[in-house]
């Protein structure tokens, strides 16, 4: 298995376990909006058949949106206006493909028919990026939001993976091992102007645009272990933000671009360290641990107003969704039946 896959698996492996059953009443900090997530609560854990749910940010109103014996994947991709969700499912022929539905679960429609993953809405909501092996290897494609006009953007015998739109929709970052190790690349929205941004014999991956589009955070093991770096959007000024013997994995920019939430095992010296959620300023200063428990915490997701962070943790025995204030206070469990992959609706 490639090193890229192994590194990502290390960060999240402890969270990807079967969901157990239970009951409880939702409580939480005064967060607003909606959170989509995946849960296997409707079946016995061993079946691993998960569906997409949505709830209010305080944990109330948990509603099942998909109801199918096949797997519905997480995380969910909300459209920029919050009226639709893109998701993965194997429901029609056993292949993983991209579907879309309205925010209330109605109008579920299959968009791809040749196998596809990693759906990403364009900032204006008119197009969806995705990854597919339909032409023999992993390449990046784009389609209209209704599934029409599918266009292949990359064409290389190596792996092209993990596409993300720039905030203005004019450029796309992705990872590729076309030059040996995994590197970060950028191209125009039509696939032209392909440019390699990182150039290192080790792996560089997981690019994430700052909200203003001026910087890109990414993970690199160029200095011996996985650390978080940032660079200008053109690839210049590559700067290491974290520095410790443990692994640090990029999570998410705050909505205002002043902070970065990330995962690290730095404070767990055990043989099988667990992930905790940290936050730091965009220049790497002020690195602060937000969660502190023997279990693994992951999938940090900022609320649109930047005041709260939703996350997944198995601290109570099985993976559940929690929410906390942006400073780590007020950590509150929102789900009680097994859940992973929280994603805030962009519309509050």
pLDDT tens digit string along 64-123? Answer: 999 887 777 655 799 999 999 999 998 888 889 999 999 999 999 999 999 999 999 999
Residues in the chain: 348
List the structure tokens of 14.
Answer: 């402890």
d(CA 276, CA 263): 6
Q: What topology does CATH give the domain 3-344?
A: Neuraminidase (2.120.10)
- Indicate if the pLDDT at residue 14 is higher than 60: no
Mean pLDDT lowest for which of 44-58, 238-252, 314-328? 44-58
List the structure tokens of 69.
Answer: 């014996």
| Residue 270: per-residue pLDDT | 74
Confidence of residue 291 (pLDDT cuts 50, 70, 90): very high
More confident residue, 125 or 32: 125
Query: Mean pLDDT, to the nearest integer, of 42-48?
Result: 51
Q: Rounded mean pLDDT of the chain?
A: 87
307 cis-preceded (ω within 30 degrees of 0): no
Confidence of residue 343 (pLDDT cuts 50, 70, 90): very high
Is the torsion defined by CA of 47, 53, 57, 60 positive or negative?
negative
237-262 in b/e form (b: 16+ CB < 10 A) is ebeebbeeebbbbbbbbbbebebbbb
What is the per-residue pLDDT across 168-191, written as a single tens digit (0 to 9) for each? 999 999 999 998 889 999 999 999
């Amino acid at each position: 298995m490639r090193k890229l896959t192994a590194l990502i698996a290390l960060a999240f492996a402890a969270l990807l376990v079967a969901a157990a059953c239970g009951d409880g009443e939702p409580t939480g900090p005064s967060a607003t909006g909606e959170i989509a997530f995946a849960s296997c609560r409707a079946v016995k854990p061993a079946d691993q058949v998960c569906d997409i749910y949505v709830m209010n940010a305080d944990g109330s109103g948990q509603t099942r949106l998909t109801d199918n014996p096949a797997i519905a994947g997480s995380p969910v991709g909300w459209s920029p206006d919050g009226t639709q969700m893109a998701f993965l499912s194997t429901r029609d022929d056993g292949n993983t493909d991209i579907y879309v539905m309205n925010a209330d679960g109605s109008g579920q429609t299959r968009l791809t028919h040749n196998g596809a993953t990693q759906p990403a809405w364009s900032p204006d909501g008119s197009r969806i990026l995705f990854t597919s092996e339909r032409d023999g290897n992993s390449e990046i494609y784009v389609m209209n939001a209704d599934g029409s006009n599918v266009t292949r953007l990359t064409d290389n015998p190596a792996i092209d993976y993990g596409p993300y739109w720039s905030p203005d929709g004019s450029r796309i970052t992705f990872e590729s091992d076309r030059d040996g190790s995994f590197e970060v690349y950028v191209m125009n929205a039509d696939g032209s102007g392909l440019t390699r941004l990182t150039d290192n014999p080790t792996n560089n991956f997981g690019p994430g645009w700052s909200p203003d589009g001026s910087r890109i955070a990414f993970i690199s093991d160029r200095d011996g272990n996985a650390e978080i770096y940032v660079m200008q959007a053109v690839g210049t000024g590559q700067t290491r933000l974290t520095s410790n013997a443990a692994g640090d994995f990029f999570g998410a920019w705050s909505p205002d671009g002043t902070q970065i939430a990330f995962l690290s095992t730095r404070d767990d010296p055990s043989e099988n360290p667990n992930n905790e959620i940290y936050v730091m300023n965009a220049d790497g200063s002020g690195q602060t641990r937000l969660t502190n428990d023997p279990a693994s915490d992951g999938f940090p997701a900022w609320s649109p107003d930047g005041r709260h962070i939703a996350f997944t943790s198995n601290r109570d025995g099985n993976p559940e969704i929690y929410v906390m204030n942006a400073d780590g206070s007020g950590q509150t469990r929102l789900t009680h039946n097994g859940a992973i992959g929280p994603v805030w609706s962009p519309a509050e």
